[in-house]
Structures are given as C-alpha cells and as structure tokens.
Amino acid sequence: MDLFSLTVNELSGLLAKGETTSRAVTESVLERIKAVDSKVRAYITVTGNAALAQADRADRDRKAGTASPVLGIPVAIKDNMCTAGVRTTCASKILGNFVPPYDATVVGRLVQAGTVMPGKVNMDEFAMGSSTENSGFFATKNPWDLERIPGGSSGGSAAAVAAGECIAALGSDTGGSIRQPAACCGIVGLKPTYGRVSRFGLVAFASSLDQIGPLTKDVTDSAIMMNAIAGHDPKDSTSADVPVPDFRSSLVKDVKGMKVGIPKEYFIEGMDPEVDKAVRDAVRTLEGLGAKVVDVTLPHTGYAVATYYILATSEASSNLARYDGVKYGFRAEGAKDLLDQYMKSRSQGFGPEVKRRIMLGTYALSAGYYEAYYKKGQQVRTLIKRDFDEAFKTVDVIATPTAPTAAFRIGEKSSDPLQMYLSDIFTISVNLAGIPGISIPCGFTKGNLPIGLQLLGRHFDEASVLRAAFAYEQATDWHKKRPKIS
C-alpha cells in the first residue's frame, strides 16, 4: 500500500488506530516527490527536513492524546501564502528570495492542527493565469499527460495532489484558479464563499476576488480541510464573522428534493462535445438520485469575462505597485536614479503576463477612463450577483461545466491571451458574485483527460454544495482514478 496515494480521511483513520505514523506518511510523500517531481514540476521549494520534524512532532502529539483529522497529514501550500521562515515567491523573480517573518492565517491554522508541510508549490506568477505556464521559474505538467497544462493558477497544487506528491493542498481562486486546475487534474477543488476563509498572509492579486480553498482527492477531504481553515479572522477586514458549520455533517448521500439549476448560458457553442456530454450525464445522475433539475437563466454571464478583466487588473495594478525595488524583493542593478530603479526593477522582475495585467489595470484606473471602465465594471458585477440571487430563489445548487475543454497542450494558447482568458469563462462569474463553488471529476475524454463538473451555491451555503458533490461522488467512480506517471 502506497501511503502517498491515500486520502486525508483514510490516513486519519490509520493514524488514529496506530496502523501507521505521520513520519511514515511523510517519508512516503517525500519519496514520491523525489520519484516524479522531475517530470511533473509541481514544487518550487521542498522542505523535507522540516516536514520530517513536523511529522515526528505530530506523532508525539498523537501519543500524548491530541486528536485532529489533519494531525500529521502532509499538505502542500501554494507559493502565494506566507510561510514563516520559508521562501514565498508567488512564482515571480521579483519575490525570488522573499522569506516572510510570519505565517498566513490559513497556514497558522494548519500548523496549529498539526499538519506537515512538504513544501511550496508552483503557480502562475502572482496567480495571473490559467495554465501555470506563466510561472517565473518553470511550467508545471499535468500528471495525466505530461505534454499538457495542469490548469492555473493553482496548477502546482492540483498536480501535486493528483500525482500523490502531497495528500492535500491549499490553493487560491480569483477567477477559477482552484476549480479549473482541479478539473484539469481530475481532483476536487473548492472555492469557499468570499470571506469564509481568511486572506491574511495571502499575497494579493485582486483583493475583492481572491479566496483560499482546498484541493483534495475527494469531497470528504475537502470538508475536512474546510473544517481546519475556515472561520473569522480579525486580521482580515474582509473576513466574515458568521458561524462555521461542521462541513463533514453535510456529507450525506441523499439529494432527494434538492433542486439543481441548469443555466443555458453555460452550455454554449464551441464547448468541447465530450465535456458537454459528461456534464449532462452527471446532471442525469443527480436526477436519478432524486434531485429535481430546473432550468435557470443567468442573463449577464456574457459580460463576465470583460468585467473580470477590468476589475481584476485594476486591483492588480494597485496591489503590485508595492514591488518597487526599494522595500523588499528584487532590485535591478545599475539604476541612474529613483525612476530608473523603479522601471528597471519592475521590467526585469515581472513576467510578461503580469506586466500586461498591470498595464490594463493602470489604464482602466487612469483619469478620464475610471468612470468608463472600472465604475461600469462594478455596476455590471452587481448585475451578475443579482442573477445568482434570483436563480437561488428557486434552486439549491447550480450545475455547470468547470471549463469548456479538458487540459490543452503546453504552449497551445500562449500566443493568444484572449483564448487563455476564455479558459475561465465558466468560473469567473462565481468570484464576481462571491459565492461558493466546487469542481468534482465527472468523466474522461477519449484521450483519457479528466473533465470537471462545477456545483455552485448560495453565499455561505457550502453545505448544499458539498452535499450534492458528495452524493454524486458516491454514485460514481471518477474520483478513484489516478494518473500513471511513466
């Protein structure tokens, strides 16, 4: 039995019974990283010695009577979350040697719960991308096909979970960056409601859209991870002070009477027919389990991509102004004066996609254009949110494809930013509205590439999303499939 291939829930049971140790699990994961990461390229930083020390501490804590479902479980962290004493790069040369003096709140909660951190995983630079090709260091590969992308921007997190290079991982989702890579890699990715999980210590891309969530091998693990990281944080002014349920209590197979909305705007021309069929088959499975399928409309969906790329780039322009070569991070050599230092440091430190988005956002916020672009974008965002509010008056969850295609080939869309941006066409609206969404495996293409089903819920109703996802998962075997890495 390969310990690295098991779930959080399975390992938690074995650890509780004394049938294995955290050290044995961690050694299995580290051996797996050594065996396959030269091909997958999921990790930016591997913290092997520290992980083994954490594992030994977890084993001592367990013997002393401490119990936690994630105690001693190796969890990889996306490299845009601060980790005290461990390099945090955002996959950017501008933060190549940045070592934070503190932990992000989610990291601190995992440390408190006794998890093990095998390392920091790759991503699109500053979380800007849909393929992890925009990393300032190297591209991560999809474990199902090493010539294809793992999705983005949490591609390293998704690839590491799918390849068994960790048991679970944390990612961040600004426009689909947890759900889309989860779909590409055949795993489960949950974006919680905006404000459900603290963003303190998450390096900001677009502050009104960013949200941290888990990437796991199944829905049960997603609920376990949410129990560990969710909750109000006074350090984050956008953190919602609302009760946190036991997410595991949502995991019931019964969806009888649940109403599942199908929005016509998400089943469009140009979508891969294999994706369309797999998602419609998944909806029929839910119907067979007793759910009632209802047609709904989200009429402003067509404006979502344009709205997102105005608002997200505007916020990125503002957030990334701090990287000036003065306070911390990369500083270019040979500058003649302060302005020259700014220009050289930023032009050499940022990659092309980050520069593109900074320029787009700076333009949208500039004098004379703010009203025409940013303000109008915020108004359309309100309309998109109202669409969901209206739909959720009649349904409990909404089912859609996670992405219009399965994972595409590395380099296939690099020269066409618009085609790359359209990879997130089904996920972006969810961030604009701030609602929770999950991607779960629902099939494979003829080329053996995973397909994702996306389930969306009302604000702070992750329970209904997890209930529907769990019921579907228990009725199918897609989540049990694992890639064979040659």
Is 172 a residue of the active site?
Answer: no
Please report whether residue 339 resides in a domain.
no
Please report whether residue 164 resides in a domain.
yes
Beta strands in 264-371 (DSSP E): 292-296
Q: In what order do the strands lie in the sheet with 119-121?
A: 43-46, 119-121, 75-78, 168-173, 211-216, 188-191, 437-444, 450-457, 397-401, 259-263, 292-296
Mean pLDDT of the chain: 96
CA distance 109 to 272: 40
Q: Find the CATH number of the domain harbouring 149.
A: 3.90.1300.10
Please report whether residue 28 resides in a domain.
yes
Given a contact cutoff of 8 angstroms between Cβ atoms, the answer to whether 152 and 106 are in contact is no
Please report whether residue 173 resides in a domain.
yes
Please report whether residue 360 resides in a domain.
no
Is 292 a residue of the active site?
Answer: no
Please report whether residue 315 resides in a domain.
no
CA distance 246 to 206: 29
Please report whether residue 82 resides in a domain.
yes
- This prediction's pTM: 0.97
Is 153 a residue of the active site?
Answer: yes
What pLDDT does 99 receive? 96
When pLDDT is cut at 50, 70 and 90, the band that residue 420 belongs to is confident
CA distance 172 to 215: 10
* 83-101 confidence digits (pLDDT tens): 999 999 999 999 999 999 9
Per the listing, tokens 């590395």 go with 410
Among residues 177, 239, 314, 439, which one is catalytic? 177
Q: Would you tell me how many other CB atoms lie within 10 Å of the CB of residue 242?
A: 14
Among residues 22, 78, 239, 413, which one is catalytic? 78
Which residue, among 263, 226, 219, has the nearest Cα to 471 in the 3D structure?
219
* 14-33 confidence digits (pLDDT tens): 999 999 999 999 999 999 99
What tokens does 410 get?
Answer: 């590395």
Q: What are phi and psi of 399, to 5 degrees?
A: -110, 130
Strand pairing of 211-216 and 168-173?
Answer: antiparallel
Per the listing, tokens 């591609």 go with 155
Total domains, the chain: 1
* 346-391 confidence digits (pLDDT tens): 999 999 999 999 999 999 999 889 889 999 999 999 999 999 999 9
* 113-131 confidence digits (pLDDT tens): 999 999 999 999 999 999 9
Residue 248 sits in which domain range?
3-258
Residue 486 has pLDDT above 80, yes or no: no
CA distance 394 to 371: 35
The Cα-based distances of 382 to 168, 301, 385, 441 in angstroms read: 34, 12, 5, 31
Residue 432 has pLDDT above 80, yes or no: yes
Please report whether residue 247 resides in a domain.
yes
What is the tally of helices (H) and strands (E) in the chain? 15, 11
Among residues 28, 130, 131, 153, which one is catalytic? 153
Q: Would you tell me how many other CB atoms lie within 10 Å of the CB of residue 283?
A: 18
* 220-244 confidence digits (pLDDT tens): 999 999 999 999 999 999 999 999 9
